[in-house]
Structure 1
Amino acid sequence: MSDGPVLAKISNSLENLRRSERKVADVVLADPHAVVRMTLAELAEAVGVSQPTIVRFANAIGCDGFHDFRIALAQSVALGIPATQSVIEARDDTATTVSKIFDFSITSLDHVRRHLDLAALEAAAEALAAADRIVFIGLGASGIVAMDAEQKFPLFGAACSAPIDTHQQFLAASVSTPSTVLVAISNTGRTVSILDTVRVARERGATVVGITGGPSPLAELSTVALVVESLDNTDVYTPTISRLAQLVVIDALATMVLLRRGEPALSDIRTMKTRLSQMRSGLHHEMILDPNRRGRS
């Protein structure tokens, strides 16, 4: 069958299914975890249709028979139910609410992964690896992502900043150079102050990596555009998956840059993490107070 979770395909195909096939779809979407354990005969009995109808349903959604459908369903269940089945309702209890939020987040992140332009990701990593200075900018939820990215400066191997004030962002862009990389994060890609800052950075010769949710002015202005296509919608209960997706993309970029820096950088990171662990446990403090402890430990 073609790529993509089968549960999402079923949800998107409901209007095109025959009435008997729609009955099968309703049962599958209502409890996919139970259906994945059913035999052909058991599912036919549960739905109240014939076994050939089940096979026709499987073919209608792009599977090669019932066996292929059940394998695809198991894979889809592992990824989480589709966003259309994860809508939170006011009457949902705690277990249902938590399950839907996790399912929605997992499914959405998988959607981002499957639609991410790896060539653009590679180009962004190359630019960041060559930078002398990196500036992350964003507002709102994207601003939180920018501040998180700043904390990863040891991985990037360059001076990093994440100004949160729009004036500070503009000033940082105004003093950028051709060795600066400005990472602009905006899900809409239409925030006026972000676009103004990007234009100034480009005028100064900086490389701009734009992280945005789709085709947008930010994508057009960027040297490298990373489209992070999430499943955000306007449902009041829906988690802000764009923020989670942006965080994962930043993690991927930081790791890719670190790998390009080679073994000396990896060794430095290992040493840093060891010392951080010692500091958290209090061992580092004890060594400062009693230098001879190092030889005894």
Structure 2
Amino acid sequence: STVAQEAANRFFRLGIPSFFVSDSYVLQMRAATLGPGDVLFLISASGEADAIVGAAEIASGYGATTICITKPDTRLSNATNIAIHADLPEDGDIYKPTASRYAHLIIIDALAMSVAQDMASETTENLRRIRASLTAYHGRTGPQPLGD
């Protein structure tokens, strides 16, 4: 869910209404409210979680576009319109960070950058406003990422 939160953080700054959901019941309800013109963007390291696969099926059934980041040949990969595959070996050491989480974050950053560049005429003003609001909030601090 923290990776999904980061995706919502990246896309809202570009003027794309975005939210993340970590509750499986809310996820099912949100999926049921989507339709043509909406996108449900799902992230799953396993690609097999019932709640996430179910949300993809619900949203697709109502005409929303479904996109996921997950392993190939999984239930989620097969249930979405667009699957971005990330299949990395995970270390068995439970104290180490998972490789897939970092890969998913990199993919999200690359997608957000591509969307920002593709929609530059729309996104530039949002980013300018964000920068101005942060500067007014805490003063000029030099070049920094927006909202990180």
Q: TM-score, normalised by structure 1?
A: 0.44
Return the alpha-carbon distance in structure 1 between the equivalents of residues 122 and 65 of structure 2: 26
Question: Residue 282 of structure 1: CA displacement?
Answer: 8.0
In structure 1, which of residues 197, 202, 209 is the aligned counterpart of residue 60 of structure 2? 202
Which residue identity does 1:217 align to in structure 2? R
Return the alpha-carbon distance in structure 2 between the equivalents of residues 194 and 187 of structure 1: 11
Return the alpha-carbon distance in structure 1 between the equivalents of residues 53 and 126 of structure 2: 36
Cα deviations by residue, 1:159-181 (Å, 9 ceiling, x for unpaired) = 11112211110001101011110
Partner of 1:234: 92
Pair 169,230 (structure 1): closer, same or farther in 2 beyond 3 Å: same
Alignment of 1:256-267 (within 5 A): 256-267=114-125
SS class of match (1:160):
coil
In structure 2, which of residues 18, 21, 37 is the aligned counterpart of residue 160 of structure 1? 18
Question: Residue 220 of structure 1: CA displacement?
Answer: 0.7
Alignment of 1:1-297 (within 5 A): 143-152=1-10, 153-155=12-14, 157-281=15-139
Return the alpha-carbon distance in structure 2 between the equivalents of residues 269 and 194 of structure 1: 31
CA contact (8 A) 2:71 2:77 kept: no
SS class of match (2:18):
strand
* Structure 2 gaps, min length 5: 142-148
Tell me the percent identity: 28
Return the alpha-carbon distance in structure 2 between the equivalents of residues 170 and 264 of structure 1: 31
CA contact (8 A) 1:179 1:206 kept: yes
CA contact (8 A) 1:232 1:238 kept: no
Return the alpha-carbon distance in structure 2 between the equivalents of residues 214 and 277 of structure 1: 43
CA contact (8 A) 1:178 1:204 kept: yes
Partner of 1:47: none
Return the alpha-carbon distance in structure 1 between the equivalents of residues 95 and 25 of structure 2: 33
SS class of match (1:159):
coil
Cα deviations by residue, 1:133-185 (Å, 9 ceiling, x for unpaired) = xxxxxxxxxx1111111122122x22111122111100011010111100111
SS class of match (2:87):
coil
Which of the pair has the greater relative contact order for Cα pairs under 8 Å at 6+ separation?
A: 2
CA contact (8 A) 1:231 1:241 kept: yes
* Structure 1 gaps, min length 5: 1-142, 284-297
Partner of 1:37: none
User: In the comparison of the two structures, how many residue pairs are matched?
Assistant: 140
CA contact (8 A) 1:173 1:197 kept: yes
Return the alpha-carbon distance in structure 1 between the equivalents of residues 51 and 125 of structure 2: 40
CA contact (8 A) 1:188 1:214 kept: no
CA contact (8 A) 1:210 1:225 kept: yes
Q: TM-score, normalised by structure 2?
A: 0.85
Return the alpha-carbon distance in structure 2 between the equivalents of residues 277 and 229 of structure 1: 40
